Amino acid sequence: MKSPNPTQNPNRDISSRDADIIIEGGILITMVDGQAPLDPARIWVEGDRISHIEKADNKSEYQGDAEIIDARNCIIMPGLVNAHSHTAMTLFRGLADDLPLKEWLFGKIFPAESEHLRPETVYWGSLLGCLEMIASGTTSVIDGYFFQDDTVRAIHKSGLRGVIAQGVIDFPAPGVPNPEDNLAVGEEYIKRWLGYSDLIKPGMFCHSPLTCSDKTLKRAMEISRDFSLPLQIHLAETSEEVSEIVNRTGKRPVHHLDALGILNEGLIAAHAIHLSDDEMECLAKRGVKTVHVPESNMKLSSGVARVSEMVELGLTVGLGTDGCASNNNLDLFQEMDSAAKLGKVFTLNPVIMDATTVLKMVTSWGASLLGLEKEIGTIEVDKKADIITVDLNGPHLVPLYNPLSTIVYSASGADVRDVIVNGRILLKDRTFLTLEPEEIIERVTAFGREIAG
C-alpha cells in the first residue's frame, strides 16, 4: 500500500500570499502515521503556523520578504519534546557522579540545592539548559523544580515551549522553608503564570509518593484539575522506593496512588521502572502518561522501564533526559539512541523499540503529554511551526538509507542546524538568535566555582 502524500493543499495559490519563513529543500519527516518522507520538501510558515507543504522539485519562485532556510542535505522534522527535566540542574552537572541514587540525592544534591539554589542561580542555570536544548533540537520541555518563577523567565526569554511546574515536597525546600506552605506556594505560582504566555503553562510537580504525604498528593491533584493542568510525579524509580511504600501502605506504588484517587489522564509519571503487570494495566486503564528516562536510570542504576510493554498496553510514553546532575546532558538524540538499544538488550529482542516508536516518543507522543497533540508533534498544515533541521553533512551520517533510523541511531544533538518554535527562529545555521551563549556560560561557570567551594 502506498503511503499518503504529505503534500498539503497542492492547488492552493501561494504566489500572492505572504510567508514569514520558507524552509527550502531537504528530506521532510512529518511523523504523521503512514506518511513517507518527502524529498525534497518546501514548507511555508505564516505567523506561528505551517501554511503550506509541497514537493520542492524546482527552485521556489517566491520573491517576497520571507526568511529563507536552505535545508538542502538536511532532514526536516518536528521539534523534540523533553518530557522530563529539571532544567536548572545544569548547575550541578558532574557534581556528584558515580553514586547510588539515595546517597546521590540525600547526601549530595539536596544539600547542594539547600545551600546554592536561589532565584539568580536558577535563572542562569535554566538559561544554560535552554541554550543546550535549543542547540540539540529540543523545542518543548516538561520541567519541575524550585524557584520556578525564574525558570519561567528563562524559558520565556529563550523562546522555548513548555510546562514549567513548581516542585512540591514535604520537607524544607529551596524557596519553601516551611513544608506546610508547599501547596499554597504551588497554587499561587500557578495563578501568577497561568495565561502569561501561549508557550508556557505552569503546573505542580510532586517529588514522589515517599517525599509527599497522601494529603499533599491528593490536594496537589485537586489543584491541578481545578486549573486543567497536568500533575507530575516520580514513580517507582527504585526498588527501595517500592519496598518502602509497600511496608508503609500495604500496597504497591501504583495501587497506593489509585486508592488516593490521583491516577487519571492528568498525571505524568516519570521513570515508572519497577512496575508489576497489573500496575501497568492500571496506569493504562486510568489514562496516566509515563516518561522513560533511560540515561539517568542507567547512570544511577535504578533499573530499566518496561517501555515496549507499556506501548503495547496503549500507554502514552514520552522520553526525558532528567536533570544534568544525573544524566549529564539534555541531548534527546543521545537519549533516543539509548532508549532504543536499552529496550532491545533488556528484552533480547532486536525489533523492540524500533526507530519509528522512539521518534514518536519525542514528537507526537511527547506533544500528547503536553496536551498539545493537535498543535505540535507532527508537521502538518495549520499546526504550529515547531520545526528543526538536522545537517546530514557529517561523516557519521553517510550513507543515508532510512532517515528515521539515521536520526535515532546515528545523529546527535550537535547535528542540529536550525530551530523554529511557534514560527520564530531560535537557531539559524547554529547561531543563537534569542540567547547570548558567552554571558550565560560565564555566569554559570562562576556559580560552579561557588558550588565547588
Count CB atoms within 10 A of the CB of residue 94: 9
Work out the number of other CB atoms within 10 angstroms of the CB of residue 381.
16
The whole-number pLDDT of residue 58 equals 73
Dihedral over alpha carbons 268, 197, 190, 114 (to 10 degrees): 80
319 and 118 Cβ atoms separated by less than 8 Å: no
**Three cell numbers, residue 143:** 520541567
- Contact between 175 and 148 under an 8 Å Cβ cutoff? The reply is no
Q: Residue 78's beta-bridge partner residues?
A: 387
Q: Which pLDDT tens digits describe the chain residue by residue (453 residues)?
A: 334 455 554 444 444 457 899 999 999 999 999 999 999 999 999 999 999 999 998 766 666 789 999 999 999 999 999 999 999 999 999 999 998 878 888 899 989 999 999 999 999 999 999 999 999 999 999 999 999 999 999 999 999 999 999 999 999 999 999 999 999 999 999 999 999 999 999 999 999 999 999 999 999 999 999 999 999 999 999 999 999 999 999 999 999 999 999 999 999 999 999 999 999 999 999 999 999 999 999 999 999 999 999 999 999 999 999 999 999 999 999 999 999 999 999 999 999 999 999 999 999 999 999 999 999 999 999 999 999 999 999 999 999 999 999 999 999 999 999 999 999 999 999 999 999 999 999 999 999 999 998
Distance CA 359, CA 3 (A): 18
Bridge-based pairing state of the strands 49-55 and 289-292 = unpaired
Which is nearest to 300 in space by CA: 328, 319, 275, 279?
A: 328
**pLDDT given for residue 60 in this prediction:** 66
The CA radius of gyration of the chain, in Å to the nearest whole number, is: 22
State CA 63 to chain mean position distance: 37
Q: Residue 16's pLDDT is what?
A: 43
Segment 62-106, tens digit of pLDDT: 667 899 999 999 999 999 999 999 999 999 999 999 988 788 888
Question: In the prediction, which pLDDT does 62 show?
Answer: 66
Cis peptide before 100 (omega within 30 of 0): no
Which residues of the chain form CATH 2.30.40.10?
Answer: 21-78+384-432
CATH 1.10.1740.10 fits 80-370, yes or no: no
CA distances (Å), 244 to each of 97, 104, 253, in order?
25, 18, 9
- What single string gives the DSSP state of each residue in 66-131? PEEEE-TTEEEEEPEEEEEE-GGGGGGTTSS-S--HHIIIIIIIHHHHHHH--HHHHHHHHHHHHH
Position 453 scores a pLDDT of: 82
Other beta carbons less than 10 A from residue 51's beta carbon: 22
**Which set of grid coordinates corresponds to residue 345?**
538488550
Confidence at residue 4, expressed as pLDDT on a 0 to 100 scale:
45
Please report how the helices 119-135 and 437-452 are oriented relative to each other, as an axis angle in degrees rounded to 10: 130
C-alpha distances (whole Å) from 217 to each of 181, 213, 220, 282, 438 are 14, 6, 5, 18, 41
- 3-state DSSP assignment of residue 325: coil
The boundaries of every CATH 3.20.20.140 domain in the chain are 80-370
HSE-CB at 420 with a 13 A cutoff on CA atoms is 33
Q: What kind of architecture, by CATH, is found in domain 21-78+384-432?
A: Roll (2.30)
Phi, psi of 427, deg, nearest 5: -140, 125
DSSP assigned state of 107: I
